[in-house]
A and B are shown apart, each in its own frame.
Chain A
Amino acid sequence: MRDIDLEALLPKLGEALLQTLQMITLSFVIAGVVGVLLGILLYATRPGNLLENRLVFGALNALINVIRPIPFIIIIIALIPVTRALLGTSIGTTAAVPALALVASVAIARIAESNLVAVDPGTVEAGAAMGASPARVLFTIVIPESLGPLTLGLTYIFVALVDATAVAGLVGAGGLGSLALTYGYQRFDWFVMIAVIVTLIVLVQLAQVAGNRVARAVQHQR
């Protein structure tokens, strides 16, 4: 076993962590906005709902069903031309963002939709009985009532993104994944491998604890 070189490792680890956080944050914010909006659109265009529209609902539904089963690694590769057109490059940290954001948007859309559908129909009925318009019921009852479970769903996606960024390391995106790959796998440096794993575990734990807190706060339950 070689000597453990902390002084050399720490800056590398720090840089990789920063790259990972950058990728996750950017794609999470984009996917959060796009995914939640898509989820609301899916919910609203459902048969019997406010903007009932079979065409829009059917098309969105099909699109999501097509994208979701494609493995992430294939999406990254398939998106290379799009990414190049969009960002002028297809490698580097930001280059992974379009693929990450796409996958996360689709997943969040489904999660948001199912949380909206799961809102107690009794509260919707109460809103209607109080004379609120369907749009008002959607924005002041259905969406607020779904926020608790939605936060947990978003946390789940955040953690899944940590996973996905490791794969993104394959296309030269940097981050913790590629650090583990180049040092741990290709150079058999197990210490780096373990350091990366511990960092990832801490990151995921922090995200989960934060997510649970926020969910509890918006749900107002103890």
Chain B
Amino acid sequence: MTTAITIEHVSKSFTAGGQRVTALDDVSLSIDRGEIFGIVGYSGAGKSTLLRTINALERPTAGRVVVDGVEVSALGGRALHRQRQRIGMIFQRFNLLQSRTVFQNVAYPLRVAGASKDEIVDRVDELLRFVGLSERALEHPSRLSGGQQQRVGIARALANRPDVLLSDEATSALDPQTTSEVLELLRRVNREYGVTIALVTHEMEVVRELADRVAVMQQGTVVEHGAVYDVFSRPSHPTTRRFVSSVLHHLPDAEALDRIRRVHRGRIVQIHVENRESNDPFLSRIARQHDVDYNVVYGGVSELQSRLFGTLTVELLGNDLDVDRAIAGIATSAAIIELPPSAEQATSAAEELIHA
């Protein structure tokens, strides 16, 4: 697989009101051709700044950014303008021109690139059909809903057949229903046109639905990155864990565990299940074998990129020796950890389990 975007040791600082702000601190990443790469992080983490170095709306203070073999961070003038025509960008607030019709908005980048009138008419028609807005060509953006405006934004960004599409919180101003429509459209952009997409978001749900790989940013650095499945199933950095738990509720928090313990006085274990290929009913088989009863008291299993993973919190009932044997038995089939009686110890044990 070839690389579409390389970010090498990029740092960026701003001086605002005499104060020096480090927005990016030695960030290195590479984004493969044809993939959808998510960048998540809390507000102020530097996500937008990083994204904007890819089309040189932001110049790195140090380091370099290479897109399709061209060092964009070193370009200026005409060469930069031409390079930007090959990188589409969509925005949280759409940024359409209110003084122009939908047609003229989509035609704008084609005019900039010097396309002929006939080419423009054909291409705009094709794009508006692709985003399903052919009927609205002659209207002005203010007459359209947010989702429709973003679709115009996407058509506009694709006008010059870019290899790369940058998306900065493109669905953050939309309701959940419209969000999934726009995400579906972005997926089609990726699949049908093979466009590499780098998308910035603070919503882990967007990453889960769309991205192949993800980078988690905090205070100007990438604290964790990898395939979406790996990051979601085994998050290692605390920030990543918080992001993952915002969309997946596999593990009980301390309060939930307290409530569970009030009812369930037996020994409690957590079992991490992951992409099981075998159909061995190991839990009931082992329980029967050692004369142990079990109660599933909490848990969740999710599918990501058509692979399953999850965690079950289970109460084991029986005499101590039998329960010990059952735990040892389950350990041969899945990662398992027994929760100590106090809640705090329990949460840190759960984290250990995931990294076992």
Contact = CB atoms under 8 A, between A and B. Distances in A.
A218 B99 contact: yes
B98 A220 contact: yes
Interface residues of A, number: 23
A163 interface: no
B95 A125 contact: yes
Contact of B112 (A125, A130, A145): A130
B99 A122 contact: no
A172 interface: no
A148 B98 CA distance: 10
Given A219-B99, A220-B142, A131 B81 contact: yes
A68 interface: no
Contacts of B166: 129
Nearest to A130: B109
A128 B80 CA distance: 10
Contacts of A133: 81
B100 A128 contact: no
Interface string A120-132: 1011011111111
A144 B95 CA distance: 14
Contacts of A219: 98-99
Contact of A131 (B84, B94, B156): B84
Count class of interface residues, chain B? 20 to 34
Interface of A: 120, 122-123, 125-133, 136, 140-141, 144-145, 147-148, 218-221
Contacts of B108: 127, 130, 140
Interface in B14-28: none
Most chain-A Cβ atoms within 10 A of its Cβ — which of B85, B96, B98, B99? Answer: B99
B204 interface: no
A131 B109 contact: yes
Given A133-B81, A144-B100, A221-B142, A126 B112 contact: no
Contact of B99 (A132, A136, A147): A147
B299 to A, nearest CB: 44
28 contacts: A122-B91, A122-B93, A122-B94, A122-B95, A125-B57, A126-B91, A126-B95, A127-B108, A129-B87, A129-B166, A130-B108, A130-B112, A131-B80, A131-B81, A131-B83, A131-B112, A133-B81, A136-B112, A144-B97, A144-B100, A145-B98, A147-B99, A148-B99, A219-B98, A220-B98, A220-B142, A221-B140, A221-B142
B98 A129 contact: no
Interface string B60-92: 000000000000000000001111110101010
B6 interface: no
B140 A220 contact: yes
A133 B77 CA distance: 8
B113 interface: yes
B150 to A, nearest CB: 13
Given A136-B112, A220-B142, A221-B142, A129 B55 contact: yes
B196 to A, nearest CB: 16
Given A136-B112, A147-B99, A220-B140, A126 B89 contact: yes
Contacts of B83: 131
